[in-house]
Amino acid sequence: MNDCIRLKSLTCLLPLLLLCTTLHAQQANVNLDWRPHLNTENLTPFSAPMNSPEVKDDRTVTFRLKAPEAKKVNLSGVHILAALGRGREPMPMVKGADGIWTLTVGPMKPDMYVYQFNVDGMTITDPSNTISAFTAMPPYSHVVVHGEAPAYYDAKDVPHGTVTRHIYHSNVTNGMRDVYVYTPPGYTSKKKYPTLYLLGGSGELPSNWMYDGRANLILDNLIAEGKAVPMVMVLPNNQVVHRNHPQHAEQTFKLFEKEVREHIVPLVEAHYSVRRDPKGRALSGLSMGGRHTMFCGFNSLDLFANFGVLSAGDTDSEKVIAGFLNDPRVNDKISYLFVGQGDQEAQGALGARVEGLRKALENHKIKHEYYVGGGLGHDWSTWRHLLYYRFLPNLWRK
C-alpha cells in the first residue's frame, strides 16, 4: 500500500519536475536566452544581491539597487534615456525603507538597451545584472526587453557559423592584437567567399560587434532566411591610437590603413578561402569605424569595392575625400556604397556629418544607397537595425 502511494506521488510530481527543467530563472545563463530578464522562478542571478533589471511580459522594466547609505540614485545612460524620451536627463530612483532603490519604466519597445546607475555622483554598472559590456571604455549594463518571440539578433534554431579569434603581432602598433573571423554555416575551402571587414566605433573592441551588435547571429539568421549571401566576416580592432590622444584624428587613419594592408587582410587571406579582388571585399564600420571606412576604404579602391558607412560622415566631405569624389572612374570601381543612420541622430550634430557625406556623393553623382531608420540614435539599436534590414541583405546583391 505504501509503495502504491509513493508511486502515485511520484507520478503526480513528474509533470512538475519536467516543468522545472524547462524554466530558467532570470539571467540563469543556461541557454542563449532571448528573455534573460524575465523572472520565471523568482531566483536571483548567482552572487547577485537581488533581481535587476526585471522585465515583465508587458515590457515594463524594474531596476533595483541596494544602497542604504546613498543619498541620490539615478538611472543614467544616453541610450536608454533617449529611448524613454528623456534626452540626456537622468531618471531618479526611489529609496525604500529596506535601503533598496527602485524605478519602473515602460512599456518599452523590444530591443537591447544600454544603461548605468549614478550613485551620489559616481557612475556604476548594475551589480545585479550579469549582462554587461567588455569594451575599451568604462563598462555598462544591458537590459533585454523581449517581444513575443526571438528577435532578428537572437540565437535561433538555425545553422550557425563559426567565430575564430586570431592573435597576431603588429609592426604598426608594436604589440599583440586580435581579430575575430566568422565563417558561415557550411563553410568549405572548395569555395571562394566574399569578405566583409566590419569595424567598431570609438572605445569599441572587435568583440563588441558580436556581443553588443550580435553581428554573427544576425548574419546566421539572414543566411538561414535566404536574405544574405554567405560570407566571411572579419571583426578587426580599429583602435590604433589612444582615443583621447590629441593627434588621434591626424594619426589614426593612415595607421589603420597600414594595419589593414600589412596585417589584417594578409592574415585573413592566408587562413581562409576568400576572394582576393576588390569586388569580393567590403569595408564597413559604425561611427569612428564609419570614418575609417571613408578615410581608409575610399583611399584603398585597389582593395575594396563595397562600403558601409554607418552613422558617420564629415561636414567637409567635399574637401576631406576629394580624391575619391573626383576620381573619374569611381563608379566603375565601387560595387555598393551604403550610408545609413538612425532617426534620432539624423536630427542632430551627428546627422550633419552624415548629411555632408550624402550631399557630396550626390553632387558628384556617385552611386550609393542612403537610409534612415531604426527609430533610435547613435547606439547599438540603430547599428543592429542597419545591419539586418539594409546593409547585409544588399551586400553582393546590388
Domains of the chain plus CATH, in order, are 54-145 (2.60.40.10), 162-394 (3.40.50.1820)
β-strand 175-183 against 232-236: which pairing, if any? Answer: antiparallel
- The beta-strand segments (E) located in the chain are 54-55, 61-66, 73-76, 91-92, 94-95, 100-105, 111-119, 122-124, 141-145, 162-170, 175-183, 195-199, 232-236, 281-286, 306-310, 336-341, 369-372
Query: What does the pLDDT read at residue 221?
Result: 98
Query: Of 221, 88, 75, 104, nearest to 154 (Cα)?
Result: 221
Question: Which residues of the chain carry a pLDDT beneath 50?
Answer: 1-22
The answer to whether 144 and 36 have CB atoms below 8 angstroms apart is: yes
Residue 253 and residue 315: Cα distance in Å, rounded?
17
Q: Are 218 and 152 in contact (CB under 8 A)?
A: yes
The CA distance from 232 to 271, in Å, is 11
Report the pLDDT value the prediction gives residue 141, as an integer from 0 to 100.
94
* Alpha-carbon span 271 to 302, nearest angstrom: 21
Q: Give burial (CB, 10 Å; 0-12/13-18/19+) of 373.
A: middle
Q: Which helix (H) or strand (E) is 66 found in, with range?
A: strand 61-66
Alpha-carbon span 310 to 198, nearest angstrom: 11
What's the pLDDT score for residue 7?
36
Task: Let me know: does 293 contact 311? Beta carbons within 8 Å.
Answer: no
SS3 324: helix
- The C-alpha cell 563588441 sits at 208
pTM comes to 0.91
Exposed/middle/buried for 79, CB within 10 Å: 0-12, 13-18, 19+?
A: buried
What's residue 10's pLDDT? 37
Place of cell 572587435: 206
Number of Cβ atoms within 10 Å of the Cβ of 292: 28
Q: Give the amino acid at 261.
A: R
pLDDT at 303: 97
